[in-house]
Structure 1
Amino acid sequence: MPAEPEQVVILGSGIVGLCTAYYTLSLSSTTKVLLIESSRSRLIAGGASSYAGGFVACGSSWHEPPAQSLARHSWDCHRQLSDALRGESKWGYRSCGAVGLAVGGTDESRSKYRTLPGGKGKTVIKADKERLPAGQWVEGEREELDTAGGVAQVDPADFCKTVHDYLSSAFPDRFTTLFGEATALSSPASTLARAASAVLPSKLAPSAKRILTFVPRDSNATPTEIPFDRLLIAAGPWSAAVCETLSLPPIPLTNLPGHSLLIRPALSLFTPSTSSSNPDLPSEAVFAGISGAVGGVHASTSGLARGLTEEEKREGYTRSPELFVRANGLIYVAGENSIPERGGPQRKDGLPNKLPDTVDGVKELLDERCVGRLKRAAGAVSPLLKEENGAVIEKEQFCYRPIASDREPIIGPLAPNVYISTAMGPWGITLAPGAGKVVAEMMLGRKMSADVSKLAPTRFAIAKL
């Protein structure tokens, strides 16, 4: 087995970077990890890692073949992390059901950017004067979706905070977080230098390490050179821009904008099931299609974002909302993935879909029209989510998720001693723990726990031949 790296540098403090740091430090007793985050506000996991739905589905029926092995392994990692770090109490980890729902008809798809499994047991649920039958909280034709392989729910913001706090306290001598920008990367050491390093005493041998130039966020900071053995690009939707800055091979990465809501439901309208002593809403994820909703936020064949039409701005619903019942009683509502109007027109030299240069500028793009579409969709799915019935909008959120041209993750070596892990789209929370462990194993020279060969960045070069 080759010698383990002394220094691993990870660019990006989202859930992928944090999980990779966790497994690198857990698998090795000597390797040090430096986590670099570019946020000017010093935010840890300040993007989609904190604002995503937190839905975890790892069965093969939810994923295309290239990612199925990773998804299966990620379920084991989610359970292991929850057991090790008290996930049930710390980040609301719990198993849940999955429901497909047709509202007003069956002509609208229930997801524009996920592969949904087949369902069974269709039942029509109707409200009588805003009150649903006992045990029910959504209205329409519902069917139970396949949960084989594991389906669960987490609060991703709490997950990321817990993992970062744990790393900082459990590995004080081997884990460091810095805020700043990586601006340059040295060329790989020559073959002669690497050979000399292998045979000469350490005091005489030339360094085979690569150098990352880093500019701290501190005022009047000067560039610093950081030697490393392994570098991981895990900057989410900014990963392509990071690759360009560091003169690394380009990757075909864009982003998926997404608005979301956290709603406290009007529980006065909910009647618990007579067969259950639990007064709370059932633990389930609901994927709805609303017939007649003025929408078209996505071309379902591409899953890529576009702007709203004038008709959609005036009266539209989100056509395919997703609703997740969290352990804290809040309902997470998402599925509105149009490009925000705020922030003016797309800059010619800007990142795709108005993506700001850093995560700090994302919240300024939250679009009230998109929020309104989500609110109307939530109310169409459940009377418990209508503000006029007493529901309370706790948070309005916006984020960007990284997505590749073929809609599969990008995981693997990118250049000598440089790796990348990104493009998990709507499956970032599901796949991040498994991806973190597999990439840690790559960087440490260990046997990998899952087959991610079809997710390597080299697939794009092959496709061009």
Structure 2
Amino acid sequence: MSSSRPHIVIVGGGIIGLNTAYYLLSGPEPPRVTIVENTHIAAAASSKAAGFVAGNKGWHAPANVELAKLSFDAYTDLAAKLNGAESFGWRRVTTTGVKIGNQDKMSGYRTLPVAGALEATSGIGGWANGDKVVLINEDSGQLLPGAFCARLWAECTAKGLVTLIATPTGRDGKTLRTTEGLLKFDKLVLAAGPWTADLCETLGLPRVPVSSLPGHHIQIKPAMPKGMQVIPDESLFCGVGAGDGNILESIAADIPDYEPGSWERTQGWTRTVEFFPRADGNVYVAGENAIPKTIGDRAADARLNRLPPTAARCRAHVDDELVARMVRASKAVSPALDLDKGAQLVEADLCYRPITPDKCPIIGEWAEDIYVSSGHGPWGITLATGSGIVLSELIRADLAHKKPQLSADISGLEPHRFGPKRSAKL
């Protein structure tokens, strides 16, 4: 590839950076693209997330609606091109709300697209306990995010992507300083997830309004009770409460969301919990968003939400008390997920999602020749492909000195909507 072509440097090797690289490299006369990543490709939430993809507008804030639809369609196209069912577990799924006991709220941080009246039908049947609330199932899918990122990185590499494992240390104009040397760029993309604000500070830029949302998850290998043959391709969003004689009635407690007290941490359960049966046979369980209290990482203690300095240190923060809360909730929802009856806990981990004050991402130009794509919150996987498409369109238009023609309306995702207004040069 000719060195005279523009050079785009992307800091962040997660699913947002990879999709940006892929769509930059897939167009006519692609630029040179380098990803700078300080750990390894998809080291954080990009490989540890549930992999749920929701394209229907009912799941999303108005600012995200067109981007979500674009993303779902792009995933469908990529699955067809890259043999998604085999290479990254792509499949269509149904979605169902579940209410157990006295808990009406079914998600701690998502708006669920209830189909019709909010009326539960007694007894969900099948693999889960509780009352069923039918959700909108149009354009719902799932993938294995780690496998997807690996496949997309391979495709990008075949198209000419250069990957540099290094840590940015500063910036001199349009030269990025890293621990592995200097990189001159024409356009710079900041896609470092919850570390994007720290990255801005390192590069002498105002901090973007991106914080972090911690989230534990577990994976359980189910044990099928007698009469249960298979767990369906059905994602569950569950409110789990005590009452109705269920197994949690004896340990009921009224607690605030996300930050349970000490007794509730050790004896309670996750009140709003999500279940995602995967193509590999395991069930991914999430919804525990309390701040981990694991002792031993002084570098994280003073940081908001105890965000570790790098993705490589997240696993050390796994909080066994929060894991146990999800295990107890899983037992209440499905007999197939009861560890006392043969189910196996195969993974317990923690990741931090980047999140903005209004819970919608920021996508666009942060400073002259410097773009940002971050803050996707719990919708990072869902919105990743669309984010890559529109950001590549913005960059291509900028390079050509043309007005961008975007595939989705992202006017509500402008990076400076929280202030300050962008100055010409920073």
2:176 maps to a residue whose letter is: L
SS at match of 2:121: strand
Using structure 2 for the length normalisation, give the TM-score.
0.90
The one of 343, 351, 354 aligned to 1:402: 354
CA distance in structure 1 between the aligned counterparts of 2:35 and 2:316, rounded to whole angstroms: 26
CA change 1:443–1:268 in 2 (3 A) is same
Using the TM superposition, give the Cα deviation of residue 180 of structure 1 relative to its aligned residue in structure 2, in angstroms. Answer: 0.9
SS at match of 2:179: strand
1:259 aligned residue:
216
Larger radius of gyration: 1
CA change 1:288–1:349 in 2 (3 A) is closer
Using the TM superposition, give the Cα deviation of residue 397 of structure 1 relative to its aligned residue in structure 2, in angstroms. Answer: 1.2
2:313 aligned residue:
361
Deviations 1:209-231, CA, capped at 9 Å, x for gaps: x1111112xxxxxxx22111111
CA distance in structure 1 between the aligned counterparts of 2:275 and 2:46, rounded to whole angstroms: 17
Gaps of 5+ in 2: 243-251, 398-403, 422-426
Deviations 1:234-278, CA, capped at 9 Å, x for gaps: 000000100111111222211111111111111244534xxxxxx
Say whether residues 1:327 and 2:249 are aligned partners: no
The one of 430, 433, 447 aligned to 2:405: 447
CA distance in structure 1 between the aligned counterparts of 2:300 and 2:214, rounded to whole angstroms: 18
Contact 1:100/1:119 (8 A) holds in 2 = no
The one of 69, 72, 80 aligned to 2:66: 69
1:185 maps to a residue whose letter is: R
2:93 aligned residue:
96
Deviations 1:78-98, CA, capped at 9 Å, x for gaps: 111111111111111111101
Contact 1:66/1:452 (8 A) holds in 2 = yes
1:143 aligned residue:
133
Using the TM superposition, give the Cα deviation of residue 71 of structure 1 relative to its aligned residue in structure 2, in angstroms. Answer: 0.7
Using structure 1 for the length normalisation, give the TM-score.
0.83
CA distance in structure 1 between the aligned counterparts of 2:291 and 2:393, rounded to whole angstroms: 37
Say whether residues 1:167 and 2:156 are aligned partners: yes
2:367 aligned residue:
415
Q: What does 1:40-79 correspond to in 2, within 5 Å?
A: 43-79=40-76
The one of 182, 185, 193 aligned to 2:168: 182
Gaps of 5+ in 1: 127-132, 188-209, 217-223, 273-279, 299-304
CA distance in structure 2 between the aligned counterparts of 1:396 and 1:387, rounded to whole angstroms: 14
1:301 aligned residue:
none
Identity among equivalent positions (%) equals 38
SS at match of 1:123: coil
CA distance in structure 1 between the aligned counterparts of 2:386 and 2:412, rounded to whole angstroms: 15
Deviations 1:285-312, CA, capped at 9 Å, x for gaps: 10000123547463xxxxxx5x431121
Deviations 1:36-55, CA, capped at 9 Å, x for gaps: 0011xxx2101001111111
1:111 aligned residue:
107
CA distance in structure 2 between the aligned counterparts of 1:435 and 1:384, rounded to whole angstroms: 37
CA change 1:432–1:386 in 2 (3 A) is same
2:130 maps to a residue whose letter is: G
**C-alpha RMSD of the superposition:** 2.0
Say whether residues 1:154 and 2:176 are aligned partners: no
Contact 2:24/2:30 (8 A) holds in 1 = no
Deviations 1:367-401, CA, capped at 9 Å, x for gaps: 11011000000001001100111111111111110
Contact 1:108/1:320 (8 A) holds in 2 = no
Contact 2:10/2:17 (8 A) holds in 1 = yes
SS at match of 2:238: strand
CA distance in structure 2 between the aligned counterparts of 1:319 and 1:238, rounded to whole angstroms: 29
Q: Give the total of aligned pairs.
A: 402
Using the TM superposition, give the Cα deviation of residue 360 of structure 1 relative to its aligned residue in structure 2, in angstroms. Answer: 0.7
SS at match of 2:285: strand
1:179 maps to a residue whose letter is: I
1:425 aligned residue:
377
Deviations 1:43-83, CA, capped at 9 Å, x for gaps: 21010011111111111110011111111111111111111
